[in-house]
Amino acid sequence: MTLIYRFLSRPGLRTAAADALVNIVSKKMGAVDKLSLIAFLNLADILSSFRSETDVDFSENVARLVNAQGLELTRIMTEVMHVC
């Protein structure tokens, strides 16, 4: 994961790195493992470093990453609510 984060700062690789993170977050796994992954990714830190982005493709992939994380958190919440 650290290597993928490094690629986020490289203009030629950052769009692909953001797309890779989208795919990782979207993988099926248990709720506990998924929450651990999302906590590890710490998306807020990633987003704060890219506030004034002009690269549209990269911005779209970062938006996809935010969306994927939100969908996964919603899925986890729904899954946990059904168990209780």
For the residues 52-62, what does the mean pLDDT come to?
Answer: 81
Question: How many domains are contained in the chain?
Answer: 1
Global pTM value: 0.81
CA–CA separation, 68 and 62 (whole Å): 10
Residue 72 has pLDDT above 90, yes or no: yes
Tokens of 22: 């989208």
Which residues constitute the domain of residue 27? 2-83
pLDDT per position as a tens digit, 16-52? 999 999 999 999 898 889 999 889 888 887 777 776 6
To 10 degrees, what angle do helices 14-26 and 56-83 make? 10
Kindly tell me the burial class for residue 64, based on how many C-beta atoms sit within 10 Å of its own C-beta (0-12, 13-18, 19 or more). middle
